Amino acid sequence: MPPPVPRVLVVDDENLLRWSLREELQRAGYQVDEAANAGLALESAARETPDLVLLDLRLPDRSGVEVLRELRQSYPRLPVVMLTAHASIDGAVEALREGAYDYLAKPFDMEQVLRALKRATETAQMREELAHVRERAAREFDLAGVVAHSPAMREVVRMVARVASSEASTILLLGESGVGKGLIARALHEQSGSHDRPFQNITCTALTETLLESELFGHERGAFTDAKTHKRGLFELADGGTVFLDEIGDLSPALQGKLLRFLEEKAFRRVGGTRDIKVAVRIIAATNKDLAREVEAGRFRRDLFYRLSVIPILIPPLRERREDLSALADSFIARFNAEFHKSVRGLSESAKQVLAAHDWPGNVRELRNAIERAVLLAEGEWLEPRDLPLVSRCAALPAAAAQPAGVEVDPFLLPSGGLVLEELERHLLRQALERSHGNRTRAARLLGLNRDRIRYRIQKFGLEEFALGSN
């Protein structure tokens, strides 16, 4: 399907100029409407909204700037290029201040006009796409859409709503891996007064100390071997917006000190730089570690801990908010129905019981993954326990809880319905990685494996996202 032909409204009181522009623009593939004065221009725009406007700065009934103001009120994203025979800098500056995209001084040639219209069209398209992205993000991270039937989660939502619109410059999100700290961080940004400013995020365990410092603060040309040009860091790029630092508990001591200085002074230096750069950003930090314990162990700076924890928000694990299970599952079913073009109607009662019996060590992330797999492979209208094999089998493992007191139970008892050994192995490996916060050595110790064996299994089951780099 060919793209729609752009419609240009030409507003000028010179008949010959309007005719000339109309002929040339139509040859260039534009639809053209004409108006000889302000009144006719506004009537034409109301009758058939243009994609672009060429507007004379001086009209017989009103000034072009006044017409520009009215057009901008009714059509805020409409690109307007001003025309002036007087080369009036003051008038052009005023028009640009009122939202004109550009101005052309008469006499001009058609190449100038066509270039200006092309640039204005491209800019308008980019702004439209950006507006759609922001609207979609605002809907996705709208607090009204956060599943919060449980009292604990309702309190989190209330706290987020209060903090988002506040002047708080640092917020600390606490909770186990997979509870949704990233979602809450994005909601804090989207519900703030800076939602139209950048949101930058980084996981502090994803890069080496040197690379992470460069990502956060930027670097000057020649600061290190591969620094061929200067680079702005996340703090600089997010000026006026938000920086989300995930896994802050794993930040190195050296970077902890530099982050503290930034939080105290709102200033930093690029790697290899000699001048301070000041920015205004909100810092949202997140961790699944007990930072107070890390402070006592000497692994986290006490002063940084106090600076970050002015406003802590604790996000409860899924096992403590079971009232949210069904609603979360339904929201994931709806999402994956749309993604996979499926029509699963929901969970059967027996499937809901399976979800309720599971302890969800991987929290909301584990639930999402389980529902994604179930929807993708489901053959019926409703999800049944057979569609949740790993969840149902792991939920059945702690059979001791259902046994009479005094009865000794084999901890390795095979569930009566059987199991898929590889699925159980993957699940246990993932639990070990989550309990050890991604530390491969500690996870190997929990499972009685050596480093080579656990590295092989991490690759085999595709669990690299849960494991730290080379520990």
Q: Which residues is 201 bridged to in the sheet?
A: 244
pLDDT at 108: 83
| In the chain, domain spans | 7-136, 141-316, 321-418, 420-471
Which superfamily does 141-316 belong to? P-loop containing nucleotide triphosphate hydrolases (3.40.50.300)
Query: Does the pLDDT value for residue 90 go beyond 60?
Result: yes
pLDDT at 238: 93
Q: What is the mean pLDDT of residues 152-174?
A: 93
Q: Is residue 218 classed as helix, strand or coil in its secondary structure?
A: strand
CA distances (Å), origin 299, targets 179, 212, 249, 305, 333: 24, 18, 9, 11, 41
The burial of 394, by beta-carbon neighbours within 10 Å (0-12 exposed, 13-18 middle, 19 or more buried), is given as buried
Q: Where are the alpha helices (DSSP H) in 297-359?
A: 302-308, 325-340, 349-357
pTM: 0.61
Residue 299's CB is within 10 A of a number of other CB atoms, namely 15
What is the tens place of the pLDDT at every residue in 339-359? 889 999 999 999 998 898 888
**pLDDT grade for 403, boundaries at 50, 70 and 90:** very low
Same fold, 7-136 and 141-316: yes
Paired sense of beta strands 231-232 and 218-219, if any: antiparallel
Query: Does the pLDDT value for residue 402 go beyond 80?
Result: no
Paired sense of beta strands 80-84 and 346-347, if any: unpaired
421/390 Cα distance (integer angstroms) = 10
pLDDT at 401: 40
CATH number attached to the domain at 321-418 = 1.10.8.60
**pLDDT grade for 223, boundaries at 50, 70 and 90:** confident
Overall CATH class of domain 7-136: alpha beta
Share of the chain above pLDDT 90, in %: 44
**pLDDT grade for 142, boundaries at 50, 70 and 90:** low
pLDDT at 447: 84
